[in-house]
Structure 1
Amino acid sequence: MRKRVAGVTFHVFRGMESYRKQDYERFWVASPAMTWAQMAGHCGVEDLAAIGSAMLSRDERRKVATLAELREYVENSPRFRGRKNCLAALPYITENTDSPPETQLFKALKDAGLGNPSPNHRVELDRSYALLDMAYPDCKVAFEYQGYHHAEPDQMMADAARLNRLQVRGWVIVYVTADDFRTPEARRSFMALARTMVARQRYLAEFCKLWQTPVAANRSH
């Protein structure tokens, strides 16, 4: 029931009720899925996808839900404000990402017609490995989001060594910054670059396959 209390704003949510209580807690709270659905009436599709992805973080300490749980909640709750936004955001929610900007990048790449990139794609590097923010393994193109911490000297040297080891294995790394999405014009410019890089590398990958096929056939004789 909506009530009047000084300094308090009441909201009415008509979606399915879903609550959760851990063993160590003394009261029930809204489940992550219901909390996410309640935000749908207050933000756009891109922000809603970022919120959902944050709930599905790669960090186990911050991961509170799964994509299946969010999808199941929307499907079982037919009427609430923002449900259309939830349905529109679900295809852009990615599990096991590290930050909201990565979700924004995933959506932009998918909307550009490049297909779904693989988040946190693992590449073996001798005795170690690298996790690439968003990758297209079919053509070895990866997009890496560069935050401010990458400007620190030690991080810059580590990034350079990592980049060299990836390039030896045929990977093309495209760096992404906040400025690439700051304005519509910057976003269009970056996405044109992204389409060019992926299309070029896919063309080269197909060319190499065609070139290698007859060689393999000749060796078989």
Structure 2
Amino acid sequence: MSARVRPFVEVNVQCAASHWTAAALFGLPDLSRGRAEGYHVIRPEGAAHLVRPHIVVHRAKLSADEVTAVEGMWVTTPARTWLDLAEMLPVDDIVVMGDACVRVPYLELEGRSEPYATIEELRSVVDRHKGKRGIRKARLALELIRIGADSPPETRLRLACMEAELPEPQLNLQIATPDGRRGPKPDIAFVEFRVGVEYEGEHHGSQDQVVRDITRSELYAEAGWLEVRISKRHMANDAKSAVAKVRTALAQRGWRPGRKTTAP
């Protein structure tokens, strides 16, 4: 991708790859659903209009601290990219993208230890662009972004639980067995009720992963926690099946609608 958009960015002053193109260069979730035609770039507000094949040109105010270098090419920062995409996405998708920005990465897997942005940086870029399109959706999303979700389905499951007025869970919390051993690390955890929820992607069908999942289930039992396993099929129809499974597990552990719970 960088090879396609690089020439345009390099020959046009104050130009940077942006929107879906910037998101792809950072490895952020692809939420375009096929709408990301061409390569997206931003030019200054007063710049002349340019038409180039396969290039989508946006003209907007872009501060110096809202661009960074990726593979030697100017690209909008993750925080600015998140805000630009808020023009095009519904609130839940903006939260998904925000969770991906603030997620603490795994150094051994990703080669980086710092998140792409902090919640404070997202808030700062929103405050800076008060009249920008999508700004109201971005503000709503800011209140729902949390650190700890490792995938879009985890974010969507958390949001579905909150929409259903279940307790707000903690994310990727390390729990321990009674003898002090490291126990499971649920994708989302309802600590007060000792309910852990695991979203199982396609890789969970491998033989090695099946063995790890069985061991994890044993550790849940040893720690006195109830494990809820969610797959892609449970996430259909606004995650209604997933929410029902979580609600049943919480009810088994004493939760009742309207009961006040400990804040995460």
TM-score range, shorter chain: 0.7 to 0.9
Q: Deviations over 1:56-95 (max 9, x none)?
A: 2231527211112112221232111111211121233221
Q: Deviations over 1:183-212 (max 9, x none)?
A: 34xx323323322321331349xxxxxxxx
Determine the C-alpha separation between the residues in 1 that align with 2:92 and 2:237.
Answer: 15
Partner SS for 1:63: coil
State the identity as a percent.
29
Deviation at 1:120, TM superposition (A): 0.3
Q: Is the 8 A contact 2:175 2:183 kept in 1?
A: yes
For 1:167, the equivalent position in structure 2 comes to: 221
Out of 118, 133, 151, the residue aligned to residue 99 of structure 1 is 151
Letter paired with 1:57: R
Determine the C-alpha separation between the residues in 1 that align with 2:67 and 2:84.
Answer: 15
1:60-139 → structure 2 map (5 Å cutoff): 61=112, 63-125=115-177, 126-139=180-193
Deviation at 1:15, TM superposition (A): 7.7
Out of 47, 57, 76, the residue aligned to residue 10 of structure 1 is 57
Given the two structures, how large is their TM-score scaled by the length of structure 2? 0.68
Letter paired with 2:92: E
Out of 39, 45, 54, the residue aligned to residue 100 of structure 2 is 54
Partner SS for 1:132: coil
Letter paired with 1:45: V
Task: Report the number of matched residues.
Answer: 201
Out of 232, 244, 248, the residue aligned to residue 178 of structure 1 is 232
Q: Deviations over 1:1-47 (max 9, x none)?
A: 2512231322234687742446x976653222111000011111111
Q: Is the 8 A contact 1:142 1:172 kept in 2?
A: yes
Unaligned runs of 5+ in 2: 1-46, 107-111, 257-264
Unaligned runs of 5+ in 1: 205-221
* Higher gyration radius (CA): 1
For 1:146, the equivalent position in structure 2 comes to: 200
Which of the pair is proportionally richer in helix? 1
Q: Is the 8 A contact 2:92 2:141 kept in 1?
A: yes
Determine the C-alpha separation between the residues in 2 that align with 1:89 and 1:123.
Answer: 29
Larger displacement relative to structure 2 (54-63 or 42-51): 54-63
Deviation at 1:103, TM superposition (A): 0.9
For 2:250, the equivalent position in structure 1 comes to: 198
Determine the C-alpha separation between the residues in 1 that align with 2:61 and 2:80.
Answer: 11
Deviation at 1:127, TM superposition (A): 3.6
Determine the C-alpha separation between the residues in 2 that align with 1:142 and 1:92.
Answer: 20
Deviation at 1:139, TM superposition (A): 0.5
Given the two structures, how large is their TM-score scaled by the length of structure 1? 0.80
Determine the C-alpha separation between the residues in 1 that align with 2:182 and 2:246.
Answer: 28
Q: Is the 8 A contact 2:174 2:182 kept in 1?
A: no
Larger displacement relative to structure 2 (35-44 or 152-161): 152-161
Residue 160 and residue 16 in structure 1: after superposition, are their counterparts in 2 closer, same or farther (change >3 A)? same
Partner SS for 1:11: strand
Letter paired with 2:146: T
Q: Is the 8 A contact 1:97 1:103 kept in 2?
A: yes
Aligned-residue Cα RMSD (Å) equals: 2.5
Residue 2 and residue 113 in structure 1: after superposition, are their counterparts in 2 closer, same or farther (change >3 A)? farther
